[in-house]
Chains A and B, each alone.
Chain A
Amino acid sequence: DAKTTQPPSMDCAEGRAANLPCNHSTISGNEYVYWYRQIHSQGPQYIIHGLKNNETNEMASLIITEDRKSSTLILPHATLRDTAVYYCIVFGRAGNMLTFGGGTRLMVKP
């Protein structure tokens, strides 16, 4: 299964866009990129996922590079409630039960 690499932590000012990068250079053609986040003492929350095209929903946008070796999660207007650990996961092979790595701890500051 493709592994992902994320920075361990990032800061963002409240109201600004938060751009969280993820490298997945060994991704294969049928693997999706998923993003989850986990706020303290809660279960992981699904944010967005994509295969090749950029995706947008009410929570965030996902930008996937043309070669699919990296992606960026964008929170367009970060709030204090977006402070969480964000996980980038590649999911696409039977038996790959969504392996979570270390994630990026995003701290949104007033």
Chain B
Amino acid sequence: GAGVSQSPSNKVTEKGKDVELRCDPISGHTALYWYRQRLGQGLEFLIYFQGNSAPDKSGLPSDRFSAERTGESVSTLTIQRTQQEDSAVYLCASSLGVFSSYNSPLHFGNGTRLTVT
């Protein structure tokens, strides 16, 4: 697969349950990003990884949200005790991630549509 892969593509969960969203970046991309997009709205930045490190977690909406990345590859975004306002499409992107140069496009997956009932 040449692109960013996200799973599941759709997730319906009950309020209060925990969910895990997975992202497989493009091979060789060291930077990985998570965004959230509510219905009809723009993209909201959540967190990024350079390698396995997340230098800035201030974009996460609450302490119910966490993310990790291992092996400079797969990343998991976890939402604990989901709330209805968490319903959104969660998008993952990756890039070559050379932060000293910004000449490195982000490539997005098609997202996970999360619905909290």
A: residues with CB less than 8 A from B are 30-32, 34, 41-46, 49, 51, 91-95, 97-103
Contact = CB atoms under 8 A, between A and B. Distances in A.
Contact of B91 (A43, A46, A51, A99): A43
Interface of B: 4, 33, 42-43, 45, 48, 55-56, 59, 91, 93, 99, 102-103, 105-111
A96 to B, nearest CB: 8
Contact of B107 (A42, A46, A99): A46
Contacts of A43: 4, 91, 93, 108-111
B42 A100 contact: yes
Contacts, number: 48
User: Main secondary structure on chain B at its contact with chain A?
Assistant: loop
Contacts of B42: 100-103
Nearest to A51: B103
B84 to A, nearest CB: 21
B60 to A, nearest CB: 13
Contact of A100 (B43, B99, B107, B109): B43
